[in-house]
């Protein structure tokens, strides 16, 4: 017998209410019954996205929502800023290139946040830039970008601001409307505590205006079709019915807790994780811009990072994430997003200590758990 703990930055563990909702008998989507659910989900999403804009629910992973943002806003030959500072920032560049959009790449050192002034400078130098694609939490490095400050520099230009909040939505604050974010994209399997399969995208009036001129090819991800359907509380194609029903459950949970409390819980989990790894003598990969979504930790000298993650998972059932791309084997990532509470963190840190000790790393056994407990006792 083994008990499994998922501490990865997507997918994340499911609350029992969500699992139960997923197992209900299927209903038909062109019915008043489903319309009631769709309507409630739409309102709940506006609450979590902190927006008055429509939020569209797509049957795709988060990347589908990213692609939808690109193909609905732009045309081949357009220029758009893409902020790269990790694997997911690079994805914006790759999607743009796939559609003949010319990316103006801002290269940020992995582990650092983008300087909003750099974005301002590029926009000023080239007024033809139509969009700024960035990431709130760069999940591959555990960095949070300052979206509020970026909103300030984009809002009075002709460009729209598009934010990948796939890992951060429902984990850290993102005031879409107050911070002048035109398009926010997210996915179901991270902060929203659902299985993978839903892409979510909110679209401002400024962005919809731009969409009228967009010539990128699109069919399934045509948001004008989605908007027309939504006006009749409908979807253009068969929605992921069970996932939408489950979404309603997770949104209800978040509404009951209140967004402020959801964010402060994440802050506390992150604080405990950071305190624990530091107490173990480990160092953070992104000490200057760490996120409350996921913590990337440098693998100490002499320890095989991939083996560390594999042993925690295969021997003890605690799944953390390794590093991606150039960080493979160099960092491991502790996700503290979604349905995670303090005793999950304690279990995770305890397992980390056990495997580090077995691998010959020298530290005071119990010091990580102690540091985490001290944060929770505060
Ligand atoms: C997980 C993640 C993605 C990719 O989402 P998929 O659901 O795998 O398509 C993109 N961006 C960020 C920041 C993520 O964390």
Find out whether the beta carbon of 338 lies less than 6 Å from any atom of ligand 1.
Answer: no
Written as tens digits, the pLDDT of the chain (378 aa) is: 889 999 999 999 999 999 999 999 999 999 999 999 999 999 999 999 999 999 999 999 999 999 999 999 999 999 999 999 999 999 999 999 999 999 999 999 999 999 999 999 999 999 999 999 999 999 999 999 999 999 999 999 999 999 999 999 999 999 999 999 999 999 999 999 999 999 999 999 999 999 999 999 999 999 999 999 999 999 999 999 999 999 999 999 999 999 999 999 999 999 999 999 999 999 999 999 999 999 999 999 999 999 999 999 999 999 999 999 999 999 999 999 999 999 999 999 999 999 999 999 999 999 999 999 999 999
Rounded Cα gap, residues 227 and 231, in angstroms: 6
Domain count along the chain: 2
State which of 222, 256, 290 marks the end of a domain: 256
The string of DSSP codes covering 295-335 is EEEEPPTT--HHHHHHHHHHHH-EE-EE--GGGTTTEEEEE
- Of 167, 226, 198, 170, nearest to 8 by C-alpha is 167
- In the block, which residue shows the tokens 């300030």? 152
Find out whether the beta carbon of 92 lies less than 6 Å from any atom of ligand 1.
Answer: no
Q: Are 141 and 286 in contact (CB under 8 A)?
A: yes
Helices (H) and strands (E) in the chain, counts: 13, 14
Q: Which CATH number fits the domain that encloses residue 343?
A: 3.90.1150.10
Q: What is the pTM of this model?
A: 0.98
Describe the crossing of helices 241-257 and 32-49 by its angle, rounded to 10 degrees. Answer: 50
- In whole angstroms, how far apart are CA 90 and each of 95, 150, 255? 9, 18, 33
Q: Are residues 208 and 322 in the same domain?
A: no
Dihedral in degrees, nearest 10, Cα atoms 75, 220, 19, 309:
-50
Quote the domain boundaries for residue 350: 5-10+258-377
CA of 263 relative to ligand 1 center, distance in Å = 20
Q: Are residues 158 and 213 in the same domain?
A: yes
Sheet with 131-135, strands from edge to edge, namely 55-59, 198-203, 183-187, 160-164, 131-135, 79-84, 102-107
CA of 62 relative to ligand 1 center, distance in Å = 5
Q: Are 160 and 183 in contact (CB under 8 A)?
A: yes
Find out whether the beta carbon of 139 lies less than 6 Å from any atom of ligand 1.
Answer: yes
């Amino acid at each position: 017998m083994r008990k499994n703990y998922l501490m990865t930055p997507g997918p994340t563990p499911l609350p029992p209410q969500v699992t139960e909702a997923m197992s209900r008998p299927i209903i038909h989507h062109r019915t008043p019954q489903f319309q009631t659910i769709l309507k409630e989900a739409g309102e709940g999403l506006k609450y979590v996205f902190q927006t008055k804009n429509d939020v569209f629910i797509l049957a795709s992973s988060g990347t589908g929502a990213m692609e939808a943002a690109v193909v609905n806003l732009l045309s081949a030959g357009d220029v758009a800023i893409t902020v790269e500072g990790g694997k997911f920032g690079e994805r914006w560049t790759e999607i743009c290139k796939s559609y003949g959009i010319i990316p103006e790449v801002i290269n940020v050192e992995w582990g650092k946040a983008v300087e909003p002034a750099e974005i301002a400078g590029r926009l000023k130098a080239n007024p033809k830039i139509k969009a700024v694609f960035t990431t709130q939490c760069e999940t591959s490095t555990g960095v949070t970008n300052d979206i509020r400050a970026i909103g300030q520099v984009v809002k009075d230009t002709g460009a729209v601001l598009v934010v990948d909040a796939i890992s951060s939505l429902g984990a850290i604050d993102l005031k879409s409307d107050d911070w002048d974010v035109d398009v926010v994209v997210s996915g179901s399997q991270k902060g929203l505590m659902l299985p993978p399969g839903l892409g979510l995208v909110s679209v401002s009036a400024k962005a919809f205006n731009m969409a009228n001129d967009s010539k990128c090819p699109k069919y399934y991800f045509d948001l004008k079709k989605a908007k027309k359907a939504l006006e009749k509380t409908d979807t253009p194609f068969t929605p992921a019915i069970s996932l939408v029903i489950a979404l309603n459950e997770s949104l209800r949970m978040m509404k009951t807790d209140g967004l402020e409390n959801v964010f402060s819980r994440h802050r506390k989990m992150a604080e405990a994780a950071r305190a624990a790894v530091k107490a173990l003598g480990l160092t953070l990969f992104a000490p200057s811009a760490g996120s409350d979504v996921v913590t990337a930790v440098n693998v100490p000298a002499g320890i095989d990072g991939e083996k560390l993650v594999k042993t925690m998972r295969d021997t003890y059932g605690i799944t953390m994430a390794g590093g991606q791309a150039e960080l493979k084997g160099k960092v491991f990532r502790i996700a503290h997003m979604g349905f995670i509470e303090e005793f999950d963190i304690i279990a995770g840190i305890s397992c980390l200590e056990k495997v580090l000790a077995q691998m010959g790393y020298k530290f005071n056994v119990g010091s990580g758990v102690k540091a985490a407990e001290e944060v929770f006792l505060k």
